[in-house]
Amino acid sequence: MTTKDYILISISAAALILSLISLVVTLVQKNRETKRTIRKNLSDTLENISKIAIESTKLRASKDTDFNSEPIILLRRNYNSQRRVLIAHADFLVDRYDNIATEIDCNILAGAYATIGDMEKAEHYWQKTVEKSLSKSIRIMNLRGFGAFLFNNDKIDLGRKCFEEALSLDVTDNDENRILKIDTCLMLCDMENEFGSKENCETALKRAMEILSAIKSQGRKNEMHERISQKLPSKIRPNV
């Protein structure tokens, strides 16, 4: 081969390499754009689900509205139909593009499925919510939410396990996390009081009292003391 042939081959190879690089860059950019579009679609869908939930709550809470009147029943049915369409779309997106779904996305879907009575799918999304928790503090909130869901669906032992895991997580030792764990104890007490046993409710309150003693801020301690005291018999109320 002549020098000219080598030059032509080198030029061709360089052109091929540049073309391949350009193709890869284009594909990466297209993939990113596709993800952004899907992410926005999912966010918009979940936002609309949340808006329907807010409107439904306002409807139920309104003192000027007969919740069981024919026009309101029709409106509620329309809300439910719209909610089901949106839920199905969000479920499809999360199922197909799980890597772009966050814990709050799954949390919203868990609540939405519970609202329409599909407890199997609601439990599935509660599990995903816990799995996708980005920090231990968020995991505590998600575990106790899942625990409350399980209590409300006659899975009391599993619900207790969720609360116990939440309370056993080793988080940074500060007032915010202490209050988070007291809130969790109080939630567990409410669940035990309604579905479990008085004894377990009292155990949760005693645990809250132990955490209370470690709070540094006197103002926050007084606030949490009052919340705990409202659930305790006067003879075992804690001193601040």
pLDDT in tens, 17-37: 766 777 676 666 766 777 889
The amino acid that residue 56 corresponds to is: S
Distances, alpha carbon 61 to alpha carbons 52, 69, 70, 91, 176, in Å = 14, 14, 17, 29, 31
Angle between helix 103-115 and 70-96 (nearest 10): 140
Rounded Cα–Cα distance for residues 123 and 114 (Å)? 8
pTM of the model: 0.81
The residue with greater pLDDT, 12 or 55, is 55
The residue with greater pLDDT, 56 or 23, is 56
- The confidence score (pLDDT) of residue 105 equals 97
* CA torsion angle 167 187 144 122 (round to 10): 160
> Closest Cα partner for 108 from 40, 167, 158, 54?
54
- The confidence score (pLDDT) of residue 69 equals 84
pLDDT digits (tens, 9 = 90+) for 156-183: 999 999 999 999 999 999 999 999 999 9
pLDDT digits (tens, 9 = 90+) for 207-240: 999 999 999 999 999 999 999 999 876 544 445 5
Mean pLDDT of the chain: 88
- The confidence score (pLDDT) of residue 76 equals 86
E strands, the chain, in order: none
- 145 in Cβ contact with 185 (< 8 Å): no
In this structure, how many other beta carbons lie within 10 angstroms of the beta carbon of residue 67? Answer: 11
pLDDT digits (tens, 9 = 90+) for 79-131: 899 999 999 999 999 999 999 999 999 999 999 999 999 999 999 999 999 99
